[in-house]
Amino acid sequence: MLETPSVPAVAPRPQAPRGFVRRLALGQFGMYLAVLAPVMGGLSVRIQHLVGLDAAPAQFGLVTGTGAVFAMVAQPLAGRLSDRCTSRFGMRRPFLVGGLVVMTGALAACAVAPGVPLLLVAWCVAQGAGNFAFAAAGATVADHVPEERRGSVSGIIGAVTPLGILAGSILLSVLPDDFLRFCVPAAVALALGLWFALRLPDLVRTERPTEPLTVRGLLLSFVFDPRKNPDFGWVWLSKFFIMFGYGALASYLTLFLAAEFDMTDTDEQLAFNALANGVSVATLVVASIVGGTLSDRLGRRKPFVFGSGILMAAVLAGVTFTPFLGDAGLGTLLALEAVLGLGAGLFFAVDSALAISLLPDKADTAKDLGVLNIANTLPSSLSPLLAGVVVIPVGNALLGGAGYSLWFGLAAVFCLAGAVMVTRIKKAA
């Protein structure tokens, strides 16, 4: 069951092991299901039940923003530690298994927390542990998949991310209470994640690192020198800005429906949320798989990322006007979700392949991927805090209740900026 080929250092195989991509995709699906279902509706509904609608945006921003800080710290830290790991069970497997088990317990605690303070603590633990598992899983792509296949593999992984969102939103709409809305996705993640971890042909590092692990070394897990690696710096910034914009609608959709469309019933919010995610995911999956395969054949990545940023910016700009369309507003919102899925699919299809090709140091693959993943997690930290505490309240006060429209307009600007930044990359097509 535990396959552990011994190697002195990490080097990608000429061919991915049989069944590896399928198991990785299902494992990633489970993990995304567990951590994204709460962000896409479970947490906002839970907080509405605890504090009411008026206080929910700020409390939601506090909980998700603080949790994302833990995720941001956990990713590169786990990457640094797994790169140095000499366990006989492998370099990545201990972090996968440990992260999954702790995350599952913490999500169960979120389900029973009697107030926001305990919910905040449990969510932070879940985010930290889950991102230990994510960091290890992401590093296995560089460990086992050759360069020429990373676009198609990235497209497959990019497709399971929204499938996790869709499955989570459907579960949220059909499960009858907050307890099951947290615990069922967590149980699925644990089962699928452990299947991937236990079947993983993990690499075993037989040579101990020559440099001792110091506090300074751990702190360096969170940084890289953009002067020495400018292309990696630009791909990091591009990912950060596009992810910031992309997450703006999904994380605040239920509260947007309540505030702008008078949809105050939480079950109704979750039902529409499931429908919107279904429309978006349908187009995203197609765009992700087709885009990843096409980028491999063309040998080009940057045009796909550029186009995705432009498309998502246009969609988010359109969302700002939906509250003013009356009865047509909800239908227009669903149509925009479909187009957003196309843009996101192109981005997820090739972004990971582009980033892996620009990693600064092949000996620190997981560490550098952890630094890169800060661009995934930092937006989800800053975004809710900025939206719930600053942009939406200020917009409501100064623009006659148009706080959400101001927020989505700002998100459109971020996506546009991310698209422009990818054009500055020189060492990739």
pLDDT on residue 221: 57
Closest to 365 measured CA to CA, from 232, 270, 267 = 232
Q: What is the share, in percent, of the chain residues with pLDDT greater than 90?
A: 20
b/e map of 39-55 (b: 16 or more CB within 10 Å)?
bbbbbbbbbbebeeeee
Please provide the DSSP assignment of 167-217 as one string: HHHHHHHHS-SHHHHHHHHHHHHHHHHHHHHHH-B--EE-S--SSPP-HHH
Is the pLDDT at 16 greater than 70? The verdict is: no
What is the Cα–Cα distance from 178 to 243, expressed in whole angstroms?
A: 28
Average pLDDT, the chain: 81
pLDDT category of residue 415 using cuts at 50, 70 and 90: very high
* Chain segment 303-348, per-residue pLDDT in tens: 888 999 999 999 999 999 998 888 899 999 999 999 999 998 888 7
Q: Which pair of structure tokens corresponds to residue 21?
A: 């991509």
**Rounded Cα distance, 248 and 230, in Å:** 28
Question: Best-predicted range by mean pLDDT among 98-112, 129-143, 359-373, 381-395?
Answer: 98-112
Please count the residues of the chain.
Answer: 429
Lowest mean pLDDT, pick from 178-187, 296-305, 371-380: 371-380
Q: Looking at the predicted structure, is the pLDDT value of residue 206 above 50? A: yes
Does residue 129 register a pLDDT over 70? Answer: yes
Q: Say what the pLDDT of residue 104 is.
A: 94
Residue type at 301 in one-letter notation: R
pLDDT score, position 209: 65
Contacts of 284 (CB under 8 A, 6+ apart): 159, 162, 341, 342, 344, 345, 348
Residue 416: how many other CB atoms lie within 10 Å: 20
| Angle (nearest 5°) at CA 206 between 205 and 212 | 75
- Contact in structure between 154 and 347 (CB atoms under 8 Å): no
The residue to which tokens 């509706």 are assigned: 41
Helix residue ranges per DSSP H, 16-115 = 20-37, 43-51, 56-84, 93-112
Per the CB < 8 A criterion, the answer to whether 239 and 376 are in contact is yes
More confident residue, 221 or 39: 39
Q: How many CA atoms lie within 13 A of 137 on its CB side?
A: 35
What is the pLDDT confidence band of residue 187, given thresholds at 50, 70 and 90? very high
Q: Where are the alpha helices (DSSP H) in 200-261?
A: 215-219, 230-260
Tens of pLDDT, residues 51-68 = 887 788 788 888 888 887
Q: Please report which residue ranges of 261-301 form alpha helices under DSSP H.
A: 266-298
What span, in angstroms and rounded, lies between the C-alpha atoms of 248 and 383?
7
